[in-house]
Amino acid sequence: MVAVSTMLILRPGMLTPAAELEDDSSDEEPETKDPVQRPPVQEEAPEPSEDGSELSEEEAESKPANAAQAEGGLVKKSLKKRWFEKLLEGRREVGGCGGMVLRFDDEETEKAWVQDSLPKNMQRGAALMAGMSVGLCLHRLVFFSELLACPQMHRANNWIYDIVFAAGLLLALGGAMALTWLRPPVRRDLALQLVLGYWGLMVFFGGAFILTSVPPLCPSCLELEETVAACPAILQVPASKLDCTLQGHTACQIFMLFLLSLPFALPQLYHQPIALLWLVFYVASSIGYEMVFDDPPDNSHHSDVVFHCCLLLLSLTVGFSKKFYLEKSMRRQFIGALQQRRAMAQLYAMFRDMVPEYVIPKMLNQSAANPIADPIPTVTVLFVLIADFNQYTRKMTPKALLNFLNKYFRKMDDICRANGVTKIETVAEEYVACVGVSPADREKTHEELLKRLIKASHGILALQHLSKKHAVKFKMGMHTGEIVAGVIGEKLPRFRLFGDTINTAEPAR
């Protein structure tokens, strides 16, 4: 491989002064201008200290060049909030309808909650409806076994209804299983066909529980009374429990169980009034049953309708309270997940400032037996060294010296970020960056990467004229060759480059 290296020692006046790069990190695309036409940076007057005396050159140099622009930069960065940070601003819960409805005070937060919880709740509800269909199938199998054991119960005209109902249960079971195993979308609205399929299953099961307790899917009270003497071992218990009307003991228990399970079947709290509609449907079905079967003993149980409605309403109240506290807990978990995600994003941002972003997943899965060491055939390394750095260490206080370094290195960070150059490290007065080390860079031609690096180096050279109080000079070195990129250490890990390419590029060598 042919290696190319360059060594530059910069002096003031080699390039035309450039304006300060305060807005390099903004979202707006900077205007392209000829560097020769840029006005020189104006020299700043010494700033007064808190006691009224003028600051020394070192302390004044350590201050930000423009406090207003620095504050504006912080404001711009604070506006770049992630989606979950914006949602956390409207996390306060407010109640509606006398506290019976829960919602967040911010519409975007509420919408995100619905998009996150609705698919999951529908999956749980679909699994519950699959269990309902299995339970109803078992109930029908027990009923058919009783029919086979008691031939006196003639149902020649009703087998067609049993077959149709059994086919419906099997289809409902298949649909519920499909919805259970369906992968929900992430922060998106559900497809219309999925919503229609889910609510179609809800309507089917709401009617199925009532249909299994009335003819033609079960014998009427008159038929049960006529055949109980022929098969007392089988029909005595159903006859005593009045399992021939909607007011029967078994039917009432099934309906109560159905209402108690609705909090898990109905996706959201605001869907609970649907249970009231089912209760109205139950009352209407009871009245309609007694109007159709107007012969005793079928029409002799109307006095139990009010009592059973009270029991079912009590079950509905218990189910609503369960759903209320369940959803309240889920909303808190949703906010907790957002807060955890925000904390993880902050940690991820800290990692991203320490090492290149593509290394972070490898670091999380790193083991001592498999250290991170990636050989890369073509990388161009850029070294920037502040010349005669010892003179600054003698003149400046430690705090002023650190502020002086931070001022220039932050500018270099902004320039590298704007040009897609990967920062490697800073060691004392040295700044190291490169192109070609990240997976995204490896997919591009090295000629394109060199253009970006040279453009960034021109921007860094312009920082020599950032202030005329101190004639800052940079030594810069570049070299292209192969390297090994790896992470050293588990505590305070550092991303480093190894190889002769590094030694050749370093200006001090």
pLDDT at 240: 63
Q: What is the mean pLDDT of residues 319-323?
A: 87
Q: What is the mean pLDDT of residues 119-123?
A: 88
pLDDT at 40: 39
pLDDT at 264: 85
Pairwise pLDDT comparison (49 vs 422), residue with the higher score: 422
pLDDT at 99: 52
What does the mean pLDDT of the chain come to? 75
- How confident is the model over 429-486, as pLDDT tens digits? 889 999 988 888 888 888 899 999 999 999 999 898 877 776 788 988 888 998 888 8
Give me the percent of the chain exceeding a pLDDT of 70. 70
**Locate tokens 């989606």: which residue?**
83
Q: What is the mean pLDDT of residues 334-355?
A: 80
pLDDT at 415: 94
Query: Is residue 119 within 8 Å of 184, Cβ to Cβ?
Result: yes
Confidence bin at 15 (pLDDT 50/70/90)? very low
Those residues whose C-beta lies under 8 Å from the C-beta of residue 381, and which sit 6 or more positions away, are 424, 432, 433, 434, 478, 479, 480, 483, 497, 501, 502, 505
pLDDT at 129 over 80: yes
Nearest to 478 by CA among 441, 506, 436, 458: 506
In whole angstroms, give the CA distance from residue 26 to residue 35. Answer: 20
pLDDT at 23: 37
In whole angstroms, give the CA distance from residue 200 to residue 194. Answer: 10
pLDDT at 7: 38
- How confident is the model over 229-285, as pLDDT tens digits? 667 666 666 666 666 778 777 888 888 889 888 888 998 888 888 888 999 998 888
pLDDT at 26 over 80: no
* Selection from 43-47, 99-103, 455-459 with the highest mean pLDDT: 455-459
Pairwise pLDDT comparison (492 vs 438), residue with the higher score: 438
In whole angstroms, give the CA distance from residue 339 to residue 482. Answer: 43
In whole angstroms, give the CA distance from residue 78 to residue 80. Answer: 5
Classify strands 101-104 and 373-386 as parallel, antiparallel or unpaired: unpaired
pLDDT at 146: 75
pLDDT at 132: 92
pLDDT at 305 over 60: yes
- How confident is the model over 176-226, as pLDDT tens digits? 999 888 776 666 677 888 889 999 999 999 999 988 888 888 777 777 776
pLDDT at 71 over 50: no
Chain Cα centroid distance, residue 251:
44
pLDDT at 27: 38
pLDDT at 93: 55
pLDDT at 97: 47
Give the CATH architecture of domain 1-19+371-509: 2-Layer Sandwich (3.30)
Domain boundaries, the chain: 1-19+371-509, 101-342
pLDDT at 25 over 80: no
pLDDT at 212: 85
In whole angstroms, give the CA distance from residue 480 to residue 457. Answer: 15
pLDDT at 68: 37
pLDDT at 418: 92
Confidence bin at 50 (pLDDT 50/70/90)? very low
pLDDT at 192: 84
pLDDT at 116 over 80: yes
Give me the percent of the chain exceeding a pLDDT of 90. 14
Pairwise pLDDT comparison (203 vs 149), residue with the higher score: 203
Angle between helical axes of 249-265 and 304-354 (0-180°, round to 10):
20
